[in-house]
A and B are shown apart, each in its own frame.
Chain A
Amino acid sequence: MVDVDSLVDVKNGMQAKRIFWDEDIYKLELEKIFGRCWLFLTHDSIIPNVGDYTVTFMGEDEVLVVRQRDGSVKAFLNYCTHRGARVVNAEAGNARGFTCTYHGWAFGLDGSLESVPFEKEVYGNVLKKDTLGMKEVRVDSYKGFWYGNFDHNAPPLADYLGDYRWFLDIWMDGTGGAELIGPPARSILKCNWKTPTENFIGDAYHVGWTHAASLKALGGPLSVLAGNKHLPPEGAGIQITSRHGHGVGILFNAASALMGGEEGAMAAKWYAENQPKVAKRLSEAQAKYYGGHFNASIFPNNSYLWGTNTFKVWHPRGPHQIEVFTWTIVEKNMPQELKDAVRRSMLRTFGTAGMLESDDSDNMESMTNLNRGPHIVTGVLNSQMGMGNEHEDAESGNIIGPSAIGETSYRGFYRAYREYLKARDWDEIRANNGKWKDELLNR
């Protein structure tokens, strides 16, 4: 039995190191977090046509996501209801149905069991085909981004994202929508799934130090941080945490990030030109943040960087390993030339051969694997930066940390993490809706 209260100290901004290592904690996470939070599946741009499908994961469960004849999307566990073999071995494609490789049971786009070889001869009337469709998973979408959820009592995706949408809308909607490019790159890292999630959600602190060499080499607005020569000045950015643990850090006017030279100028021009449009479409307050660099995670394992334009899912593979899916994100209305430049920049920085990606993974792996030591694993993790400086953000309804560098989003992530692990069900989580801010704001 895991003593959840001993894992996270919200008031003092600390977590037990065991959360990156222990098998029983991981099992609890699969049940209480991956079993009932919204998990990223795919984007409209990946499966635009009827019969288009893609295969991905929800936690450790393999999932098939399919565009239906009526334009909707359904998701199914990717196993045959006969003897449990995998139904689809490709990663993506277009199909009229899906046939299991083992005995040839054939399923429709809607997951229903359509035909069974020699059914009459070998089964007679025994088989109740209408109960043997592929097991369906609940799905929901926001601005073209599809997520799945194993818990039918979970709130709709829009409510799960909640007030955090105020920040998502800036890039998901501000200029007419965002899209993912291409199939995902896939890589294995030997780290706990929370190490990259917490890094993306709230760590502007490491940028100048972990990535010193890359920043120095690349140019662009973020390069001034190289080697901790400068701290971003007062008022240069903010950090946000929200009801269900999603968070974001924004460095103002740094969206062209690590794109130097002509490409950087092209990106900077795009953001400057579009800021007034975002103001008109959304609000002046939101437009203020458009053109900034976002580092962010949607709870539990979906991270993105806006400006460096990477979109990632950290699929857990046991407590000590993850499989990373990496896409490039672009605004739909960007000219093709800029989309291409953004993609090249993403590959150079956070792709599978990215200059910054390889810096981060080294830290994440050691943060995980050193915990094999019985004396190391009993220690605690510290996330106290900026504690006591937060306030409620009147504009968005979230909690805001008023500086570019701080650990507000870490604390909010682990507050939600503890809440999910403790709660029996979504009703119990919903009961906390009015008081989730209290502990973070120390009131």
Chain B
Amino acid sequence: MEELNPVAHEIYIEVQQVLFKETRMLREERWREWLETMVEKDIVYRAIVSQLRFRKDNRYTGEKDVPSLDENWAGLDRRVAQMESGMQWTTDPAERVRHFITNLEVFEGQTPNEYVIYSNCQTVRNRRVYEEMTYCYGRNDIWRRGADGKLRLARRDVDVDERFVSGKNHNFPM
């Protein structure tokens, strides 16, 4: 793998603050604002679980990736529309979702206006009275700086650690 160059400290801090702001926006259910202001139109947003295979097995031809999410901008837009419909009873009363983002590494991307961002995430999701669910995953992001100087999410690959979804589903901002 090609060696990546870490960014300068001020950019590292800027990226960190943008990621924190993103999770707060999602936590506050500002879905449309998030999609319009923080997400690029050519977004690829994926969450992948891995099937368990023996290390030395290189003969099996089946796919190893188990996608949970594979969205483009239009798909994310439909998911936001679901929440905006006023009819989504599964999040009424509202769910509470809190992200913890750590092990943050920020590198220069392939073009001067792109950054490659690695992070570890733990997300705790509460719904109804008794359901508390915890999810652990890594995120490999690409964020792009626009002409207006703002950073927007261009690609997110969520690498999910658990093989099975213990917390019901992955239908929350990952």
Q: Which A residues are closer than 8 A to B by beta carbons?
A: 46, 48-49, 51-52, 89-95, 181-189, 212-214, 216-218, 226-227, 261, 323, 343-344, 347-348, 351-355, 357-359, 361-362
Q: Given A212-B85, A216-B85, A359 and B57 touching (CB < 8 A)?
A: no
> What are 26 A-B pairs with beta-carbon distances under 8 A?
A49-B59, A52-B60, A91-B52, A93-B59, A94-B57, A94-B60, A181-B63, A182-B66, A182-B67, A184-B66, A185-B49, A185-B68, A186-B49, A186-B66, A186-B165, A187-B166, A188-B164, A212-B87, A213-B85, A214-B82, A217-B82, A347-B67, A347-B69, A352-B169, A353-B169, A361-B168
Chain B residues near A186: list those with CB within 8 A: 49, 66, 163-165
Residue of A nearest to B128 (CB): A362
Q: Is the CB of B169 within 8 A of A358?
A: yes
Closest 9 pairs between A and B when the two form their complex, measured CB to CB = A187-B165, A353-B170, A217-B81, A94-B59, A186-B164, A183-B51, A213-B88, A94-B60, A213-B87
A48 touches B61 (CB 8 A): yes
If A182-B63, A188-B165 touch, does A352 touch B170 (CB 8 Å cutoff)?
yes
Binding site for A on B (CB under 8 A): 47, 49, 51-54, 57, 59-71, 74-75, 78-79, 81-83, 85-90, 163-166, 168-171, 174
State the total of A-B contacts with C-beta under 8 angstroms: 133
**Looking across the interface, which residue of chain B has its beta carbon closest to that of A263?**
B74
Instruction: Point out the residues of chain B lying under 8 angstroms from A355, CB to CB.
Output: 78-79, 82, 171
How far, in whole Å, are A52 and B85 apart by their CA atoms in the complex?
Answer: 46
Query: In the complex, what residue of chain A is closest to B163 when comparing beta carbons?
Result: A186
Measured in the bound complex, the distance between the Cα atoms of B90 and A348 in whole Å is 16
Cα–Cα, bound, A75→B25 (Å):
50
A351 to B166, CA, bound (A): 14
Please give, as numbers and ranges, the residues of chain A lying within 8 Å of B47 by CB-CB distance.
Answer: 353
CA distance A402 to B154 in the complex (A): 50
Q: Given A91-B53, A93-B54 in contact, is the A347-B70 Cβ separation under 8 Å? A: yes
